[in-house]
Amino acid sequence: MPLRVHICAVGRLRAGPERQLLDDYLSRFDKTGRALGLGPVAVHEVEDKKGGGMAAEATLLSGVIPKGAVICALDERGKLMSSPDFANMMAGWRDEGRGDLAFVIGGADGIDPSLRSRVDAKLSFGKMVWPHMLARVMLSEQLYRAASILAGSPYHRV
């Protein structure tokens, strides 16, 4: 069974350079990952139009996370990982027969503790805080890199 990947994020990514990069890396991941039992990727964007803050965002995000999915939150307090370790983590979930993997990207204030307490893993791209639109691009590139590593491609050089 393939490990379907979901990027569940607060905010809408509009047309522009970030969207182009995101689409490019996700397309590459889908092509490379298919033979490895990874993907496809679905992007789920939510917006709290009523101004309910982190709690409302958590409710909206929870609504787009597939039932039974492995949940990995992008969080500056999360685990710092190398790209090969990230690839192996994904392969492990795939090999366990998990059907869905949801990466959660919160809004400007982060992820509400009620949702953060339910995650299976927390991933950090470093101690710096990144704009959530760039975090999506960075995640999509790492997804493609992970698939490339698992495929034995020279894209990733150690």
pLDDT digits (tens), the chain, 158 positions:
899 999 999 999 999 999 999 999 999 999 999 999 999 999 999 998 888 899 999 999 999 999 999 999 999 889 999 999 999 999 999 999 999 999 999 998 899 999 999 999 999 999 888 888 899 999 999 999 999 999 998 776 65
Q: Report domain 3-151's class.
A: alpha beta
The model's pTM is 0.94
**In sequence order, which ranges of the chain are alpha helices (DSSP H)?**
17-34, 53-64, 83-95, 113-116, 132-151
- The domain locations on the chain are 3-151
* Nearest residue to 147 (alpha-carbon basis) of 156, 158, 157, 136: 156
* Nearest residue to 158 (alpha-carbon basis) of 61, 99, 83, 50: 83
